[in-house]
Amino acid sequence: MLLHGEGSEPLKVRVNQVLSFEGLERVLVEEAEAGDIVLINGIDEVSIGSTLCHPEHPDALPLLKVDEPTLT
């Protein structure tokens, strides 16, 4: 399930691949845990702060706020 924040409607999705990073290289991994930085293939709707969860436990985490890039 994919959720875009608390109270959002869950979307049923399928993850094709999960890739982690070793330096600049992408490495295929079997699983990732909360806090891991990964690349997910197979879901167009996923974005920063989205929650991926098991269909039996569709509990979304609060959305993250990402500051806009600034130039000085």
pLDDT in tens, 27-37: 999 988 878 88
Residue 72's pLDDT band, with cuts at 50, 70 and 90, is low
CA distance 42 to 15: 5
CA distance 28 to 54: 21
Amino acid at 20: S
Residue 62 has pLDDT above 70, yes or no: yes
Q: What is the pLDDT of residues 5-59, one digit of tens each?
A: 777 788 888 889 999 999 999 999 998 887 888 888 888 888 777 888 888 888 8
CA distance 17 to 15: 6
Residue 69's pLDDT band, with cuts at 50, 70 and 90, is confident
